[in-house]
Amino acid sequence: MESGKRGYEGMDRKTAKKRAKELVAKMTLEEKAAQLRYNAPAIERLGVPAYNWWNEGLHGVARAGVATMFPQAIGMAAAFDTELMGQVGDVIATEGRAKYNAYSAKKDRDIYKGLTFWSPNVNIFRDPRWGRGHETYGEDPYLTGELGKAFVEGLQGDGEYMKAAACAKHFAVHSGPEALRHKFNASVSKKDLWETYLPAFEKLVREAKVEAVMGAYNRTNGEPCCASDTLIRDILRGQWEFEGHFVSDCWAIRDFHTQHMVTDTAEESAAMAIRAGCDVNCGNTYLHLLKAYEQGMITEEDITRAAERLFTTRFLLGLFDQTEYDRIGYEKIECREHLRIADQATAESVVLLKNNGILPLKKENLRSIGVIGPNADSRAALVGNYHGTSSRYITVLEGIQDYVKDDVRVYYSEGCHLFKEKVESLSATADRLSEAAAVAEHSDVVVLCLGLDESLEGEEGDTGNSYASGDKKDLLLPASQSKLLETVVETGKPVILINMTGSAMDLRYAQEHCCAVLQAWYAGARGGRVIADLLFGEISPSGKLPVTFYRDTEELPAFEDYSMKGRTYRYFSGTPLYPFGYGLNYGDTVLEQVECCGKKTAAGETVLLAPGQKFEIAAAVSNRGDCAVEDVVQVYIRAMDSVHATPSPRLCGFIRVSVGAGKTVKVQVPVDKDSFTVVNDEGVRLVDGARFEVSAGFGQPDARTRELTGKEPVIFQIVLA
């Protein structure tokens, strides 16, 4: 069939389903069952080529050679920029098509070379110890849903055919611990389920029309997520009317009988999964489907239904037709425009946490600069996990060297190993510490690059962090780095800390002793160049934290506890080190004016919202500083009359805005359609009460944000008539 592709004609789901049904009807039972494996074999007599469903595109096409590599997902989340996320999704789809066109022309249909990307990860980053949290868009359901929706729409496109297929993962209630995930049961209340863990998935299914959903490894309230009647049948395909395909996490179905102990045999596990609606098995348990059929555990209809869903996706992608995407050439990979978008993503992702005025640096005022730390010249610290290959990497050290050229002397010291006691095996402990001190003493200013990389936080089985399977045991920097930080600070030279991690760390010492602190996440393959531009004021930092930076883990509930009580900015009752939504810039942005529903609204006023009237927020943003900046206007809301309201106001709207020095820009802030709702103990979303407190500003309306920024948000009330 592929050799005689049909001419370009477009494809809607109704037509794709019809063609899938016709094609599958020509297959034998054995052929249909084989198509449910992630590495589906060819059916030559029907012209069906082999297809591997497993591909990754979290922040660039991964594991299939060279591609544009963006900052890790958590970094892009810090941009609070839905337009950017749509562009990133489109770049990944474009480069994915370019690779697919080139590889399939050479009959290469290996893993990571298809058009079904198992991204994005829209799990909620509920606990900073989770090693895979940097794959997510943070701790807030609304932010996660908005960014995930934009990514999916960008990836899948709006053409006559689907450009690439996105996958919302991991469904559902999944965020560690990694070491227990194959046997763990996440117990969750109905309120937490519908208020926190499901909203992003629902938005991607209902609004973004995501083509695939991946189940999680764990059980949720006793049911394995990859065979959950509650999650898959009742919610996903029932309430949300999901029409795409469902895929298991890799070897998760095997866990049914080897870890969760809910079945006794592989045949029972395969039957349980396919009956619940799991169409693709990432793993090998579906090799036992035919035995399950022979034993009467499943029907041929179960297998047929799954095969038809999978071929519907392949037809939607135009894999048996000529499409507008067939002309996407290999020259699109790492092209100039894609690299520009990657640079923009890095620039918007970096969060300025502290600045005593030392930043931006002025090259003409420096004779020397010290660049110190295990992440200063680390490629691994640029890319996070689930990454592809860049044709060029630019570390922070290289970025600074390239920026200052020969005008400023750049000294460098690794300072310490990322986590070991020493760099050289035969040396004494702390063998790079004296060099670091010497570099600092000979420098006018020190840029200290600390943090982690995917060897210390990541997925179980993929990292070198054997003691916690990819999770962190606490929020502390490795002991070698803590000693380095103290040693450099004690030289008395001004220190700018760049923390390169995918999660919140205990930065109390840095906040107290360093002149500036930046959270750079995993900044992308060429991120060092952009970070240098940020340090020297070519652009202003503008990222906002998508997660809370706590002071330590003692303030948090047990990692295994999936209740939201005491977690994230919505339920945390303590004082964070750095709050969700917080981030500084080099300008001085203020809200000159706020309008609610077309009416100018000052702090303390009450706005009456008539029945049927749309909730709208507009704001005039002025920059009183002397350099152009970008900032993020954020709107938070809390139901004042409801016992079901979150303890702290929750994010319900945001928009990124660019403002020139001395300029004012007016923006319309998109707000959540469910702004006035709460979720009760039965998991029902409803309007409960008439009075609401609304805050508009550049962060949360909390005391710590006020303390760190010195700015007051505009807080007013809305009353529903």
Chosen CATH of 350-547 out of 3.60.110.10, 3.50.30.10, 3.40.50.1700, 3.90.420.10: 3.40.50.1700
What integer best gives the mean pLDDT of the chain? 97
Tens of pLDDT, residues 693-707: 999 999 999 999 999
- What pLDDT shows up at residue 2? 56
pLDDT at residue 246, as a whole number: 99
**CA distance linking residue 288 with residue 281, whole number of Å:** 11
- The whole-model pTM stands at 0.97
pLDDT tens digits, residue range 34-76? 999 999 999 999 999 999 999 999 999 999 999 999 999 999 9
- Name residue, tokens 């998760």: 252
DSSP-derived 3-state class of residue 586: coil
Percent share of the chain, pLDDT over 70 = 98
The H or E element containing residue 447 is strand 445-451
| Cα–Cα distance measured from residue 90 to residue 248, given in angstroms and rounded to the nearest whole number | 25
Task: Tell me how far apart the alpha carbons of residues 53 and 314 are, in angstroms, rounded to a whole number.
Answer: 10
The b-or-e profile of 359-391 (16+ CB within 10 A means b, else e) is bbbeeeebeebbbbbbbbbbebbbbbbbbbbbe
Provide the annotated active-site residues: 249, 457
In the predicted model, residues of the chain with pLDDT beneath 70 are 1-4, 6-9, 463-467
pLDDT of residue 461: 77
pLDDT at residue 4 in the model: 54
* b/e per residue 216-231 (b: at least 16 CB within 10 A): bbbbbbebbbbbbebb
What pLDDT score was predicted for residue 209?
Answer: 98
Which residues have a Cβ under 8 Å from the Cβ of 564 and sit 6 or more positions away?
Answer: 126, 192, 195, 196, 570, 571
The C-alpha atoms of residue 675 and residue 204 are separated, in whole angstroms, by 18
Confirm if 82 and 146 have CB atoms less than 8 A apart: yes
With beta carbons less than 8 A apart as the criterion, state whether 87 and 341 touch: yes
Residue 466's pLDDT is 60
According to DSSP, the residues that pair with 449 across neighbouring strands are 498
- How do residues 488-542 score in pLDDT, each as one tens digit? 999 999 999 999 999 999 999 999 999 999 999 999 999 999 999 999 999 999 9
Superfamily designation of domain 2-332: Glycoside hydrolase, family 3, N-terminal domain (3.20.20.300)
pLDDT at 116: 98
Query: Between β-strands 368-372 and 409-413, what pairing exists: parallel, antiparallel or unpaired?
Result: parallel
Dmax (CA) for the chain in angstroms is: 80
pLDDT in tens, 581-592: 999 999 999 999
What does the pLDDT read at residue 1?
46
What integer pLDDT is reported at residue 353 of this predicted model? 98
Instruction: Give residue 17's pLDDT.
Output: 98
d(CA 679, CA 642): 10
Cα separation, 137 vs 175, whole angstroms: 12
Evaluate whether 2-332 and 350-547 have a shared fold: no
Q: Which CATH architecture has domain 589-720?
A: Sandwich (2.60)
Neighbours of 521 (CB within 10 A): 31
Sequence ranges of the domains in the chain = 2-332, 350-547, 589-720
